A = this chain, B = another copy of it.
Amino acid sequence: MCDTCGCEHTGETPKPVEPQRIPVVQKILSANDQVALENREHLRAHGITAFNLMSSPGAGKTTLLLATIAALREKTRVGIIEGDTASQVDAEIIAATGTPVVQINTGGGCHLDAPMVHSALHALPLDALEVLFIENVGNLICPVAFDLGQNYKVALLSVPEGHDKPYKYPAIFEAVDIVVVTKADLMPYLDFDLEKFRVLVHGLNATAPVLVLSAKTGEGLEDWLAWLGERFV
């Protein structure tokens, strides 16, 4: 019994509750997943391959996109959906390259969802695109749970964030098709243990490659472009 508030708390640290195992007879799609399915069909019908980029704030999603747009300019036609809780600073940076871009402001919401992306798709010239990058809201946790209808999920982890992040945020590393370590140019100034990071990621996800790149120096960009290139329709 707690003296101050009279509650019955035992002092134990809360633990995640194990979900009860209930036999699933038929998979009922959630409202989000239903729209994600429609988005996927939209994209397929237009011959567009879509990538959902997820990371912490400031991990370098926009910078990687700028380098990617520049490299793909002669090879394919790229469109961008930008997700942020507020502002359109990233969309303005992308628009300055002449790339079709739509900004989604979530109004404080911590992730994109399929209906937001659905609306954004209608604002893009889909017939003129072959590749779509969706830059999710900067958040290493919430975006993972929402299928947007993308073909591939990409996690970025910047070197300054530290190699221990798969311990603390395992869900994103389990879920993605590739992990991109960004800001590799900062390696000399930080204690980022790349081999430890690879071991942690592959402990959660045996198949996702771990690429290391610096959009600033260009290091590793070819590997990223090669991985992308294998996935265009």
> What is A's interface to B at a CB cutoff of 8 Å?
2, 4-5, 7, 9-17, 38, 41-42, 45, 56-58, 84-87, 89-90, 102-108, 110, 115-116, 118-120, 122-123, 137-142, 158, 160-162, 164-165, 167-171, 183, 185-186, 189-190
Contacts and interface: CB of A to CB of B under 8 A. Distances in A.
Contacts of A108: 16, 141, 171
B138 A138 contact: no
Nearest to A16: B107
Please name the 10 residue pairs, one residue from A and one from B, whose CB atoms are nearest each other, closest first. Answer: A16-B107, A58-B161, A11-B122, A160-B160, A87-B167, A110-B141, A5-B38, A84-B168, A11-B123, A4-B42
Contact of A45 (B4, B7, B103, B123): B4
Given A118-B9, A123-B11, A140 B57 contact: yes
A122 B189 contact: no
7 contacts: A13-B120, A14-B119, A56-B58, A57-B140, A84-B168, A86-B168, A110-B139
A107 B168 CA distance: 10
A208 B123 CA distance: 39
Contact of A9 (B7, B105, B122): B122
A86 B160 contact: no
B107 A17 contact: yes
A91 to B, nearest CB: 10
Contacts of A160: 58, 158, 160, 183, 186
A142 B142 contact: yes
A3 to B, nearest CB: 8
A122 B4 CA distance: 11
B169 A138 contact: yes
A42 B9 CA distance: 13
A165 B86 CA distance: 10
